Chains A and B, each alone.
Chain A
Amino acid sequence: MLYIDCPYCGSRGHEEFTYIGDATKKRPDGAETSDPAWFDYVYLRDNPRGPHLELWHHSLGCREVVKVLRNTLTHEILGAGRPGDKIALPDAETER
């Protein structure tokens, strides 16, 4: 089981959460009309081997969205916070 440190509830098992997706994608401004920008936002995702910032919904707990830094290789949860929080990637991994 993965334990995710929910900012409100504290440490909880991952089965209380629902995976939302990549947390690094920024929604383009509503006035943005270029197709590539929207195509990128809707469809294009990196598939990193290692730390990955993602959003999880604590659907069976406080119903808040939690930003999680998870290692996709080892499933280690490296950090968690609110969606607005900055979660620093480990140095060794960002150099890759």
Chain B
Amino acid sequence: MADLASPQRRSALEGVLVPGDFGATPFNGPGILLSERGPLSVVQIEAGTEDLTAAAGNALGIAPSGMPNEAAGTGRPRILGTGTGRWLISEPEGRDLAAHLRASLPESAAVTGLSHARVCLRLSGRDARTLLAKGCGIDIHPDAFRPDTSRMTSLFHCAALIDCRSAEPVYDIYVHRSYAVHLFEMLLDGALEFGCRVA
């Protein structure tokens, strides 16, 4: 019998994300690479009355950036600014990140576990910027949307957090779980003209 106490993670894109090559077949390979990252531990922390930067820095080993839209860390964990005094922390699942933060941050801080509430899509490839431009209004020129910065914006009409991991470009897109299918289908549809490899 299945262990009811620790349910298996089930991807929100199960049956929708089908690995393979879709759309055009350019001579130099698919222009878009699309995959789902996970499982991830995703936790939001929000400062109450006290500044969280130092305490979070001690708990995580990397201090969150006080600058708007600036990311910290290389992925274990990755800390993204999502508002004044609010950060989203994500790392590959391994420990109980929410409990760890709750224990190490001051009482006034709000710690919210979002691991099961967010889906993280990884978008890369030479046409990734053009694809993003189809669905959002922010400036995605490499000089404007630089690596290690993130943007909270609307992507194909749903709220998304776009994290620019590198200038190649590689983007991590965090989206609410219930919008994941919509966003994935829109991204895949938009990517067909460039050729899309789903992994």
Contacts and interface: CB of A to CB of B under 8 A. Distances in A.
Interface stretch (B33-41, B53-61, B91-99, B150-158): B150-158
B153 A61 contact: yes
Interface of A: 1, 7-10, 12-13, 15-16, 59-64
Interface of B: 68-69, 82-84, 137-138, 151-154, 159
A7 to B, nearest CB: 8
Contacts, number: 38
B84 A8 contact: yes
A1 B68 contact: no
Given A12-B138, A61-B152, 16 more contacts: A1-B137, A7-B84, A8-B68, A8-B84, A9-B68, A9-B152, A9-B153, A10-B69, A12-B137, A12-B153, A13-B137, A16-B137, A16-B154, A61-B153, A62-B83, A64-B84
Contacts of A60: 152-154, 159
A13 B138 CA distance: 8
Given A8-B83, A8-B84, A62-B82, A16 B68 contact: no
Nearest to B86: A62
Contacts of B152: 9, 60-63
Nearest to A16: B154
B146 to A, nearest CB: 13
B68 A10 contact: yes
Nearest to B139: A11
A61 B84 CA distance: 12
Nearest to B151: A9
23 contacts: A1-B137, A7-B84, A8-B83, A8-B84, A9-B69, A9-B153, A10-B68, A12-B137, A12-B138, A12-B153, A15-B137, A16-B137, A16-B153, A59-B159, A60-B152, A60-B153, A60-B154, A60-B159, A61-B152, A61-B153, A62-B82, A64-B83, A64-B84
B191 to A, nearest CB: 22
Contacts of B151: 9
A15 B151 CA distance: 15
A4 B195 CA distance: 35
Contacts of A12: 137-138, 153
A60 B153 CA distance: 5
Contacts of A9: 68-69, 151-153
The 10 closest A-B pairs by CB, nearest first: A60-B154, A62-B83, A13-B137, A61-B152, A8-B68, A60-B159, A62-B152, A16-B154, A8-B84, A8-B83
Nearest to B144: A10
A68 to B, nearest CB: 17
Given A9-B68, A9-B69, A60-B159, A15 B154 contact: yes
